[in-house]
Amino acid sequence: MRTKQGSFISPSDITPESVWLGRRRWLRQAALGSLALGAAGLARAADDDSPAGPVLDAPLDARWSTTEKPNGWRDITTYNNFYEFGTGKGDPAAHAGRMALTPWAVKIDGAVQHPMTLDLDDLRRLAPLEERVYRLRCVEAWSMVIPWIGYSLSHLLKRVGPTSGARYVVFTTALQPDVMPGVSQGILDWPYTEGLRMDEAMHPLTLLTFGVYGRALPAQNGAPLRVIVPWKYGFKSAKSLVHIRLQSEPPVTSWMRAAPREYGFYANVNPAVPHPRWSQATEQRIGSGFFAPRLQTQPFNGYANEVAAMYAGMDLKQNF
C-alpha cells in the first residue's frame, strides 16, 4: 500500500514466516528485558497461542462460516495492519494497547430517522452475538481465516431507520494522535475513513464485530468494535469505529484519496484485476509456512454465491 511520501509495501515486503518468527523472538527478548508496562503482554503474545482477554462467547453461525481451519490466536493478533500505529506488521501489537478504550461511544447519524450515540454496552446488546469464521484477504496478497464475534451490521442500521436518502454508509475510526505513532508519519489523511454502498452494508455477511476467538477484540484488531466485510480487501474492514454516517453521496475514502488509481471504492476481491504493482491471482495464507504453496485467490474471496448479484451488470474492472 502506498504512503503519502510515496513509499509502499510491495509483495516482497510481505513478511516471510521465518522473518516473522525472528521478530517474535525479538519481541520476547525485548519484553523480557524491559520493565515497561505492557512487557508482560508482549511476552505472552510472543509465546502463547491461546486466546487472552475478556471472554465474549457466542454460538457459531454455521450458515455464514467457512469450515477452513482458522489461523491461531498468535497469527491473528501479531500480524496486523493498523497504520495509525505504524506500518510494520508487529507495530499494532506493540503500540495499540495504549489506545483509550473507555468510555467508548459510536455516533450514528446522517440520512436516518433516529440519529443516536450508543455506548459499547448498548451496541453489544443490540442483537445476539454470533461467531462467524470468515476468510480475510488483504490487498497485499496475504490471507487468514478468523473466527470473529459480532452481528450483522444491518441490525444497527435498521434501528436508526435509514431514510430514502441513505445510499452510502461512511465509517470513521478513532483518532488518538498522542498514542498513535503512525498518525504523525503522514501515511494517510486521518482519521481513517471507509465506506460501503447501502446494500453492501445491509448484507448479512457484513459484520459489526466485537470479538475474536471467544474474546473481546484486542486493541490491535480494532477494539472495541470494527466492521468486517469478508468479500472485499481487508482495508474496507475499518477498525475502532467512532462514527457511522448514512448519506446520499458516494464517499471518498482514505485510501481512494491517497492513491485513487490503486484503491477503488468497491475493492471487491478479484483475482482478475491486478493491483497496479502486483498480481492478485494468488495469496499467501499466513501461518501455513513460508514454503507452502500459494492459494488461488477466489472472486469475492469465495463469497460470490452470496454477494455477486449485488454487482450484476457492473464492469468490475472499471469499478475496482
Q: Residue from 15, 71, 80, 152 that binds ligand MTE (CB under 6 A)?
A: 80
Q: Which of residues 146-185 bind ligand MTE (CB under 6 A)?
A: 173
Residue 63 phi/psi, 5-degree rounding, is -55, -40
Nearer to ligand MTE, 178 or 315 (CB): 178
Residue with cell 471472554: 55
Part in contact with ligand MTE (CB under 6 A); list of ranges 17-25, 62-70, 151-159, 235-243: 235-243
Nine cell digits for residue 294: 500459494
C-alpha 244/C-alpha 171 separation (Å) is: 5
One-character DSSP codes across 235-274: GGS--SEEEEEEESSPP--HHHHH-TTT--SS-B--TTS-
Build a one-symbol-per-residue string for 110-139: x at contacts with ligand MTE by CB under 6 A, - elsewhere: --------------------------x-x-
Q: Does residue 237 interact with ligand MTE by CB under 6 A?
A: yes
| Ramachandran sector of residue 110 (left: φ over 0; alpha: ψ -120 to 50; beta: rest) | left
Q: Does residue 234 interact with ligand MTE by CB under 6 A?
A: yes
Exposed, middle or buried by CB within 10 Å (0-12, 13-18, 19+), for 317? exposed
Query: Among residues 97, 230, 253, which one has the least CA distance to residue 173?
Result: 253
Part in contact with ligand MTE (CB under 6 A); list of ranges 9-17, 20-28, 43-51, 79-87: 79-87
Q: Residue from 106, 149, 238, 267 that binds ligand MTE (CB under 6 A)?
A: 238
Part in contact with ligand MTE (CB under 6 A); list of ranges 2-10, 13-21, 229-237, 258-266: 229-237
Q: Does residue 268 interact with ligand MTE by CB under 6 A?
A: no
Q: Does residue 284 interact with ligand MTE by CB under 6 A?
A: no
Q: How far is the CB of 313 from ligand MTE (least distance, A)?
A: 29
Nearer to ligand MTE, 157 or 180 (CB): 180
Nearer to ligand MTE, 108 or 228 (CB): 228
C-alpha 131/C-alpha 154 separation (Å) is: 16
Q: How far is the CB of 274 from ligand MTE (least distance, A)?
A: 17
- Give the H or E element holding residue 282: strand 282-285
Q: Does residue 227 interact with ligand MTE by CB under 6 A?
A: no
Q: How far is the CB of 35 from ligand MTE (least distance, A)?
A: 28
Handedness of CA 71, 73, 74, 75 (dihedral sign): positive
Part in contact with ligand MTE (CB under 6 A); list of ranges 2-10, 28-36, 114-122, 231-239: 231-239
C-alpha 40/C-alpha 49 separation (Å) is: 15
Part in contact with ligand MTE (CB under 6 A); list of ranges 8-16, 55-63, 81-89, 296-304: 81-89
SS3 assignment, position 32: helix
One-character DSSP codes across 155-190: HHHHHH-B-TT--EEEEEE---GGG-TTGGGTSSSS
C-alpha 108/C-alpha 59 separation (Å) is: 27
The residue number whose beta carbon is nearest to ligand MTE equals: 234
Nine cell digits for residue 1: 500500500
Part in contact with ligand MTE (CB under 6 A); list of ranges 15-23, 155-163, 234-242, 259-267: 234-242
Contact residues for ligand MTE (CB under 6 A)? 80-84, 136, 138, 173, 192, 221-222, 234-235, 237-240
